[in-house]
Amino acid sequence: MTYAREHEASFAQPEAGPCRRLRWSLKVLYATMDDKRRQDGLTWPAHAVVLRRSPNQLTGLCTARSATGMDLGMRIVQWLGQPGADFVYLATW
């Protein structure tokens, strides 16, 4: 928790409201995950084992239109070592 307090600005989320919702930027999340996966020399099946998900759940982010589960999104950002805020945007609802 200390880390988050020390770097509070880097963890800040955009302000949402009644007409705006936070959404995962799935294309950015997928591209960043895929780049690191390739750098680490992981196949999709091997990467899926690391994240305890199916390969289809991971590759499906490339074509997903609007959402992924919080659990999967957070597993990916933790594996990337980046804050979730890097992959979230404010969408009109």
| pTM for this prediction | 0.77
pLDDT in tens, 19-45: 777 888 899 999 999 999 999 999 999
pLDDT mean across residues, the chain = 84
* pLDDT tens digits for range 51-72: 999 999 999 888 876 678 889 9
- The per-residue pLDDT for 80 is 96
The percent of residues in the chain predicted with pLDDT above 90, rounded, is 45
> Is 7 a member of any domain?
no
14 lies in some domain: no
**How many domains does the chain divide into?**
1
**Contact of 1 with 71, CB cutoff 8 Å:** no
In a domain, 59, yes or no: yes
* Boundaries of domain holding 71: 19-92
